[in-house]
A and B are shown apart, each in its own frame.
Chain A
Amino acid sequence: MVSESSARRYALRDPDVRLMLQVRDGSAVAFEELMQRYQGRLVTVLQHLVGSRDQAEDLAQEVFLRVYRARARYVPGAKFSTWLFTIANNAASNALRTLSRRREVSLRVRESGPMGASPMDAVIQASSGQIPARQLDKAEARDIVRMALAELNDRQRMAVLLNKFEGMSYADIAQTMELTPQAIKSLLSRARGNLREVLEPYFQHGDRPAKKNNLH
């Protein structure tokens, strides 16, 4: 339950909260403005979370739909971005659970093949003995970072994305992910430590990184 003074404070400090209050009061202009401000940001985070642009756009639309449906009972209990990404996190979690079940099935099929279970394994196997230590170009670097991010578990990845792309504080990430700030501190530490280990060979020697087992 949000106190009136808290709600007032958020409304005073956050222009996006004020816009959402206008949406609550029936303003289509305010809703359009919020959409313009957040659609790119939402799709960015969701795309790196779920690994698919199409799915990220579907999820972003789902988020806006949920915002629209929740407008009548909106009471500002957080920054607007925190509230919005909480909805996004919930929407994405459902999608990731479904994806994960599908991935388990396809992994069982792929594991029996020559290229191994993980995309990272496939890259390493393809390049081993063929490509000497060299500087990777920008597109390759991006692919490698994407793959390293995909190696994190869903919660670690979400925390990293909110931290990196949204510049959220640990307190805001905690509120978004419904965890404590200490849990977020620990989660981010493990996530970034994992990323460091996976990417280290790249920035030490320009080699394609080796995958560490049991990163989760």
Chain B
Amino acid sequence: MSHDSANASPDLIEQQLVAYLDGELDAEGSHRVEELLAADPTVRQRLQRLERTWEMLDQLERSAVDEKFTRSTLEMLTVAAEEEVDQLQSEMPRRRRRWLIASGSLLAAGLAGFLVVALALPDPNRQLLEDLPVLENLDQYRHVDDIEFLRELNRENLFVEEPADAP
């Protein structure tokens, strides 16, 4: 096996080294590469250089997009949705057209409206989820006048629930 590997062309060795670094070799292939690495220091050096080059690509920045990009994309999609409705309108027979325009318009309007609102306004459901712990204990909290009193009770571990009695 080592003999075969040693006689392989440089290109083939390079292919195997890159695939090895990427975890793309099966067990047998990995084993062959490891034998070669153990036997040949020049191959080890090639592997190290390939690794270092790959790590250098970490210098490349990852892009973040801003709200402007998202909005302009949604605007573009809204136009596409409206064009779809127009196309449907021109293609369908008159009787079905009214229904289709209504539902198609609804879809386009829903897409545009929902997407714009979802981005522009805070999600009320999200807010409710955040407030849920308070809402669940609202009846008890109504009897408390200030937050410092609650904190004091919490420090005394008075909010820890007692386990239910065993059946």
A residues adjacent to B (C-beta < 8 A)? 26, 28-29, 31-32, 35-36, 39-40, 43-44, 47-48, 53, 56-57, 60-61, 64-65, 68-69, 138, 141-142, 145-146, 149, 160, 163-165, 169-170, 185-186, 188-189, 192-193, 195-196, 199-200, 202-203
Residues of B within 8 A of A165 (CB): 60, 62
Given A56-B63, A142-B60: A29 touches B114 (CB 8 Å cut-off) = yes
Q: How far is the CA of A58 from the CA of B63 in the complex (A)?
A: 14
Residues of B within 8 A of A48 (CB): 60
Given A28-B115, A69-B80, A170-B24: A189 touches B15 (CB 8 Å cut-off) = yes
Q: Nearest CB to that of B69 among chain A residues?
A: A57
Interface stretch, picked from B35-43, B49-57, B135-143, is B49-57
Q: Which of B19, B56, B81, B107 contacts A185 (CB 8 A)?
A: B19
B24 touches A40 (CB 8 A): no
B77 touches A57 (CB 8 A): no
Q: Nearest CB to that of B61 among chain A residues?
A: A142
What is the total of A-B residue contacts with beta carbons within 8 Å?
112
Kindly provide the distance from the CB of B82 to the nearest chain A CB, expressed in whole angstroms.
Answer: 12
Residues of A within 8 A of B101 (CB): none
B residues 105-142 near A (Cβ < 8 Å) are: 107, 110-111, 114-115, 118-119
A44 touches B14 (CB 8 A): no
B60 touches A65 (CB 8 A): no
Decide if B157 is an interface residue (CB 8 Å cutoff): no
Residues of B within 8 A of A53 (CB): 63
Q: Nearest CB to that of A204 among chain B residues?
A: B49
Decide if B64 is an interface residue (CB 8 Å cutoff): yes
Q: Which of B18, B19, B62, B81 contacts A44 (CB 8 A)?
A: B62
The DSSP consensus for interface residues of chain A is: helix
Residues of A within 8 A of B73 (CB): 35, 39, 60-61, 64
Kindly provide the distance from the CB of B143 to the nearest chain A CB, expressed in whole angstroms.
Answer: 39
- Residue with the greatest number of chain B CB neighbours at <10 A, chosen from A48, A65, A160, A189: A189
Q: Nearest CB to that of B110 among chain A residues?
A: A28
Decide if B153 is an interface residue (CB 8 Å cutoff): no
Q: How far is the CA of A149 from the CA of B118 in the complex (A)?
A: 39
Decide if B59 is an interface residue (CB 8 Å cutoff): yes
Residues of A within 8 A of B72 (CB): 61
Given A35-B70, A40-B65: A146 touches B50 (CB 8 Å cut-off) = no
B residues 65-116 near A (Cβ < 8 Å) are: 65, 69-70, 72-73, 76-77, 80-81, 107, 110-111, 114-115
Decide if B162 is an interface residue (CB 8 Å cutoff): no
Q: How far is the CA of A185 from the CA of B24 in the complex (A)?
A: 9
- Residue with the greatest number of chain A CB neighbours at <10 A, chosen from B59, B65, B81: B65
Q: How far is the CA of A205 from the CA of B141 in the complex (A)?
A: 68
Q: Which of A47, A57, A164, A193 contacts B57 (CB 8 A)?
A: A164
Decide if B26 is an interface residue (CB 8 Å cutoff): no
Q: Given A68-B80, A142-B59, A203-B49, list of 19 further CB < 8 A pairs?
A: A40-B63, A43-B63, A43-B65, A48-B60, A56-B63, A64-B73, A69-B80, A165-B60, A170-B19, A170-B24, A189-B18, A192-B18, A192-B53, A193-B14, A195-B56, A199-B53, A199-B56, A200-B49, A202-B56
